[in-house]
Amino acid sequence: MKSSFRKAGEFAIEKLILLSGIASIVFVALIFIFLLQEGVAVLKHTSLGAFLGGKFWYPISNPARLGILPLILGSLLVTAGAIVIAVPLGIAAAFYIAEVAPRKLRAVLKSCVEVLAAIPSVVLGFLGIALLVPFLKRFLGLPTGLTAFAGSLMLAFMALPTIITISEDAINAVPREYKEGAIALGATHWQTLVRVIIHGALPGIIAASMLGIGRVIGETMAVMMVTGNAAVIPETLFAPVRTLTATIAAEMGEAAKGTPHYFALFAIGIVLFVISFAINLTADLFLHRGKKR
Amino acid sequence: MRNEGLKEKMGFGVLFLATLVVVVPVLSIVVLILVKGWGALSWKFLFTMPLDGMRAGGIFPAIVGTFYLVLVSIAFSLPIGVMAAIYLSEYARDNALTRTINLAIINLAGVSSVVYGLFGLSLFVVFLKFGVSIVAGALTLGIMTLPVIITSTREALRAVPQSYREVSRSLGASRWQTVRHTVLPRALPGILTGAILSVGRVAGETAPILFTVAAFYLPKLPTSLSDQAMALPYHLYVITTQIPGIPEGYRYGTALVLIGLVLVMNIAASVLRSKYRKKR
């Protein structure tokens, strides 16, 4: 009797475990369905081409003009700036931490990177407004420091922990024999690093950079606070821009439910969801290729 | 040969400089907020209501709001996350379902935080009619932290040696009994580490709560989970960008409370982790 109770209990809990396992799939599906349900309605007001390629974002004029090209270009510009800064810096730091730093220093550096990863983006945005923006204005002699460049700097900083940790894992995963073989053949540590280890770690480093890009495109608060939020097609890094994420965050509070504006913001959400899906999928492919070898 | 030695020195020098460029700002940020925010901290700042359009008084309701959000979201995501990890580590075979689950987890981790906000708004606030409330925001945050909890729990479970399971099963224990009495106790510190880290994450997130919970200015404490609430990160955003003439100390003070909360969680997690490593 007792054991049949036990069996029933076990059966129930194992079903619950299976359900929880599937929960992630359900949540991803729910996110997509609910974005679609609200976002697709934008196509009643504008065509897909005019939405993605339209040069004007005047969501509350009458009739509303819902072209998100300035926002897409804003996101791309800020992201490109951030990646140019963060990828070389992150990879170099990962090599230093994984290969060069003495053991004790390595532990300190790793915890610094962890701290950076933990700092909330709104805190970085606050410091950006309080310190970075006035500094850029004075240092570069700009009319305002709230620029795409300020956003790139903040985002580069925020992408660094992702790039460093994943590259470092990839470097550590390179088989010891490769390194020992190169050194036994008379190569210096530096030669081993740039000619041998880097090849073994390359898929992981590419994945790290892609995940860094994903982090940057999706980042919201810090970038909204320092980029000046002007929804115009950007001409230089040193002018205000507005990103896809900042547009949603800044305008959803004012968009009345059921208006074209409201639907358009959800449609921007779909664009972001598709971008992050594609980036994560590709990065995962690189990571697995690295592991199999 | 001497040439190669010089090259090596210069190469390592460049790598070191790059590392400094990363690390020095991190340390300066923490020190700066500590120094500038310390003066604003007082019992009154931490435990009273905001006054005068948030230009005076304290940040108590924001602290309480963040506390509620953390509690409810972890209560939701920890059981689901841990069970999902148990499924992946102890039950799942290498088949299409498992691969799909892994793909879903990767995607949940990559979705932009503001997209979570949209999702929470349309599912919890509007469709399920929870309204703008603590419960809507906490569920949104809970789903967002699932990948962190699942990944860290799975690592902790996988670190338990296979021989433990074999011995337990060979003594006649069922699969669940093995998990419950042999594997889980061993993995507990690792699971807790993940949980603590996700608490830090929940406390610091702003974008997911913008349209699901956050009240601009609400000088009273929430009485139920269906109330709106203030929250620390949103409060910092509001006093930084929306209200002019706030004393600098208030901003740095709020930033210090927020960053202090997050860093204490991280330190707790790493202490737990290193203790656990030593024991093994």
The answer to whether the beta carbons of residues A244 and A271 sit under 8 Å apart is yes
pLDDT at A153: 94
Check whether residue A17 and residue A105 sit in a common domain.
no
Over range A67-92, report the average pLDDT.
Answer: 94
Number of domains in chain A: 2
Q: Are A120 and B204 in contact (CB < 8 Å)? A: yes
Domain boundaries, given as residue ranges, for chain B: 63-279
| Bridge partner list, B152 | none
Distance CA A41, CA B258 (A): 39
The answer to whether the beta carbons of residues A18 and B87 sit under 8 Å apart is yes
Check whether residue A26 and residue A69 sit in a common domain.
no
pLDDT digits (tens, 9 = 90+) for A149-195: 999 999 999 999 999 999 999 999 998 888 889 989 988 889 888 88
Minimum-distance CB partner of A121 among B22, B79, B206: B206
pLDDT at B278: 66
The pLDDT mean for chain A works out to 90
Q: Residue A293: pLDDT band by 50, 70, 90 thresholds?
A: very low
Is some CB atom of chain B closer than 8 A to the CB atom of A11? no
Is some CB atom of chain B closer than 8 A to the CB atom of A191? yes
| Bridge partner list, A228 | A241
Minimum-distance CB partner of B5 among A115, A188, A214: A188
Q: 3-class secondary structure for B210-260?
A: CCCCECCCCCCCCCCCCCCECCHHHHHHHHHHCCCCCCHHHHHHHHHHHHH
pLDDT at A112: 92
Q: How far is CA B38 from CA A70, B54, B62, B244, B256, in A?
A: 42, 19, 18, 22, 7
Closest-approach residue (CA) in chain B for A93? B19
Closest-approach residue (CA) in chain A for B139? A27
Q: Give the max Cα distance, chain B.
A: 74
Distance CA B201, CA B194 (A): 11
Angle between helices A2-39 and A260-292 (to 10 degrees): 120
* pTM for the full predicted model: 0.92
Distance CA A236, CA A77 (A): 9
Query: CA of A34 to nearest chain B CA: how many angstroms apart?
Result: 6
pLDDT digits (tens, 9 = 90+) for A15-40: 999 999 999 999 999 999 999 999 99
Contacts with A104 from chain B: Cβ below 8 Å: none
Q: What are phi and psi of A122, to 5 degrees?
A: -70, -30
Residue (of B43, B66, B28) closest to B253 by Cα position? B43
Sequence-ordered alpha helix ranges (H) in chain A? 2-39, 48-53, 69-95, 103-118, 121-127, 133-140, 148-172, 176-184, 189-192, 198-218, 221-226, 244-251, 260-292
pLDDT at A179: 87
CA A67 to chain centroid, in Å, comes to 23
Contacts with A111 from chain B: Cβ below 8 Å: 270
Is some CB atom of chain B closer than 8 A to the CB atom of A154? no
Contacts with A5 from chain B: Cβ below 8 Å: none
Count of A-B CB contacts under 8 Å: 257
For chain B, 280 residues long, the average pLDDT of each consecutive 10-residue run is: 81 93 94 92 85 78 92 95 95 91 92 95 94 94 95 92 92 91 91 89 91 83 87 91 83 93 88 74
Minimum-distance CB partner of A272 among B25, B105, B112: B112
pLDDT at B215: 79
Is some CB atom of chain B closer than 8 A to the CB atom of A190? yes
Question: Is the sign of the CA dihedral A5, A6, A8, A13 positive or negative?
Answer: positive
CA B120 to chain centroid, in Å, comes to 17
Minimum-distance CB partner of B119 among A31, A111, A121: A31
Minimum-distance CB partner of B270 among A111, A191, A277: A111
Distance CA A16, CA A22 (A): 10
Closest-approach residue (CA) in chain A for B214? A253
Distance CA B119, CA B99 (A): 24
Contacts with B33 from chain A: Cβ below 8 Å: 123, 127
The CATH number of the structural domain formed by B63-279 is 1.10.3720.10
**Best to test chain B binding among A85, A119, A121, A165 (most B CBs inside 10 Å):** A119
Looking from the CA of A59 toward its CB, the CA atoms found within 13 Å total 25
Query: CA of A227 to nearest chain B CA: how many angstroms apart?
Result: 12
Contacts with B101 from chain A: Cβ below 8 Å: 21-22, 24-25
Domain holding A31, by residue range, is 2-44
Q: Are B117 and A248 in contact (CB < 8 Å)? A: yes
Contacts with B25 from chain A: Cβ below 8 Å: 157
Check whether residue A110 and residue A84 sit in a common domain.
yes
| Residue B209 CB neighbours (<10 A) | 28
A126-130 long-range contacts (CB < 8 A, ≥24 apart) are A126/A225, A126/B236, A126/B237, A126/B240, A126/B251, A126/B255, A127/B29, A127/B32, A127/B33, A127/B255, A128/A154, A128/A222, A128/A225, A128/A226, A129/A225, A129/A226, A129/B240, A129/B241, A130/B240, A130/B248, A130/B251
